[in-house]
Each structure stands twice: as structure tokens, then as C-alpha cells.
Structure 1
Amino acid sequence: MERLEKKGREVPADYLNRPELEPEGAFYFDAFFRLSPSRRVGFSEGPIPFEAIDAFARRWRIWGSEFDRFERMIRALDSEHLTKRSAGKDDPQNLTSMKDAAGLRALLQSVGSKGG
């Protein structure tokens, strides 16, 4: 940011208005977005495979009850993602941008209310 200001360039508004998540929420979102490409795609988009979740958790040394919580959170985010995608694949209202702080909070609250 300082380098841009020194060069007389503006800091992008998206950077200044980026959503702020609690560290734990940010970790789950990061994990979800890293795991999403591992899903199988055929006639429709499938869920994130257990093997991918397990490998990610082992890499980050997430064990025992922490793994159970991690898997539940990834599955809840994935379920929400797949529900929105199947409701209207091309409908922008069914997508949540990473830049939409209110949308991300609402998604986390929705997942939390389902017992994630």
C-alpha cells in the first residue's frame, strides 16, 4: 500500500473495502476455496471429496475432534455452495463474491445456524 502511495497511485477501493472475517472464519473460507477445485465434475458439480478434505487436514495437522469440526465446516460451506449453484447456475444472486463482506457474514451465519 505504501509503495503505491509513494508512486502517486491510488490504493484500489476493493482492497480498502475488503471484508474482514474472524481469523477462524477466514481459515475455513481459505480451505474451502483451496479444496473446491478438487470436486468431481460430470453432469453436475459434485461435493468436495473426503480424500481432499482429509489430505488438507493432515497437511495442516488437524486431528481428532478438530478434524470433525473442520470437516463439518467444509461440508456446510460446500452444501451451501452446491445449493446456490443448483438453484440457478447463471443467476448472480446465487453467488457470493469474496469482496462482499455482508454476503460472506450471511453465508457464515447460515452455515452456523445449520449446526456447522
Structure 2
Amino acid sequence: MLTMSAMEPRLKSRLWIAAEIRRCAVQDITAVVARRGDPDAGAILLKVNRFAAGCVVHGGSYGRDGQREWIAATGAEPVPEADADAYVERRRDSDPDLWVLEIEDPQGRYTLGETVA
């Protein structure tokens, strides 16, 4: 069990989203908020759309060390956009605080700045 003194402060969801949009803009990659969640502690999904190459949805969580980690929620291989959208919709239905950030990256340049499990 973690005590308050052992917990690392976490970046608020809205700030992480804003920073990621800016990071994408610097790389000339389009990123848009498809759904706004809880501004402080909402879970985050990243839908990376590579268009003809398919989509990958990453789900964010925190590891044992308190650092943000990402899991390829739709699997390691890209899936059709309809499958990615269906996954996002299921998550949205079960989590009203969920953020969804859509990243359009047909050239495959986008990389997560944090650990991918």
C-alpha cells in the first residue's frame, strides 16, 4: 500500500494532453482532442491513425514506479480504423472521465515520449 509520502505527484491529464498536442505540432503532426475527460485525473487513450497502414490505440496507466506507461490496447499490429473506433467507444461508454487524443500520422513519425509496455 502506498502512503501519501511515497506517491509521486502526477501531471494532470489536461496538462499532459496540451503538452502532447504541442509536441506533435512541433513535428508537424496533427493531434486533436476527440473527447475531453476529467481535467485532473482522467484516463487517456491515444488513437494513432496511420490511415492506409491502420490505427493503434494506446492506453495510458501508471507503473509501480509512478511513471506513465502505455499499452497498445488494440494489439502490437495496426488495426482497421473501424476496430480502433469500436475499442474507443467501448472505453468511453465505461469511463465518463476518459480523454481521447487522436493523432493523424500517415508518415509514421509519431512516437510516444514515455514507456510502451
> Scaled by the length of structure 1, what TM-score is found?
0.26
Q: Which has the higher strand share?
A: 2
Q: Computing the radius of gyration over CA atoms, which structure comes out larger, 1 or 2? A: 1
Q: Tell me: higher relative CO, structure 1 or 2? Use CA pairs within 8 A at least 6 residues apart.
A: 2
